[in-house]
Amino acid sequence: MLLSEQACKQVAQAIAEQEKRTDAELVTVLARQADDYRYVTLLWAALLSLLVPLVLAFTPVWLSPVEVLLAQWATLIVLAVLFRLAPLQRRLVPRRLQHWRATGLARRAFIEQGLHHTRGATGVLIFVSEAEHYVEILADAGIARHVDDSEWQRIVDAFIARVKAGQVAEGFVACIQACGDKLAEHVPATEQKNELPNHLVIL
């Protein structure tokens, strides 16, 4: 698990406390990463292996075509394995692609967690993809008409800073509390309900 059992309980408790103040339904989702990006690292390995004949052409050792081909295959395999290491992978995968994949996973999670089916369209998703250092808050129509995206973005920026510092649990709790403040202000509680589970969903 990305978070300890105690940290998950703290997240669930924070959600329960904030939902007492608002009609909104909060759901938190934490993903290890949005994609394995295997195709990207394999593409890099393949492109670099194509350079092997060019490099060998400048060496004094003569190799047969079969030996050159074997050198290419060996290079491809070694680089494909090497590029799977997390520090190298993060450098090889474009940030735009990482955010695009994380964004897609966030929207899929919004649907899968049933946030689009809440009464009054009051679902709010706090989504984190740890590997991409990506945080997004998605609000259904009943909340979006009251709270501007710029207000969510300020909360997201603070959360991202904590995720980058490795403080994922603390970031979740602080983010939930900040969202609760916004929701209590714009969509205060008029009834006690709990349509969706409060526990942290880990993908």
Domain endpoint, select from 49, 66, 92: 92
Instruction: Note whether 26 and 44 are same-domain residues.
Output: no
Instruction: Note whether 80 and 163 are same-domain residues.
Output: no
Confidence bin at 2 (pLDDT 50/70/90)? low
b/e burial code for range 139-178 (CB count within 10 A of at least 16 → b): bbebbeeebeeebbeebbeebbebbeeeebbebbbbbbeb
Instruction: Note whether 87 and 98 are same-domain residues.
Output: no
Predicted local distance difference test score (pLDDT) of residue 11:
84
The answer to whether residue 139 scores a pLDDT higher than 80 is yes
- 7-51 per-position pLDDT tens digit: 888 888 888 888 888 888 888 888 888 888 888 888 888 888 888
Instruction: Note whether 117 and 166 are same-domain residues.
Output: yes
Domain endpoint, select from 77, 92, 107: 92
Instruction: Note whether 123 and 156 are same-domain residues.
Output: yes
Q: Closest Cα partner for 153 from 123, 175, 181, 131? A: 175
- 71-94 per-position pLDDT tens digit: 888 888 888 888 888 778 778 888
Instruction: Note whether 12 and 63 are same-domain residues.
Output: no
Residue 148 phi, psi (nearest 5): -75, 150
Instruction: Note whether 140 and 196 are same-domain residues.
Output: yes
Q: Are 66 and 53 in contact (CB under 8 A)?
A: no
Q: How many domains does the chain fold into?
A: 2
Domain range for 116 is: 5-35+94-202
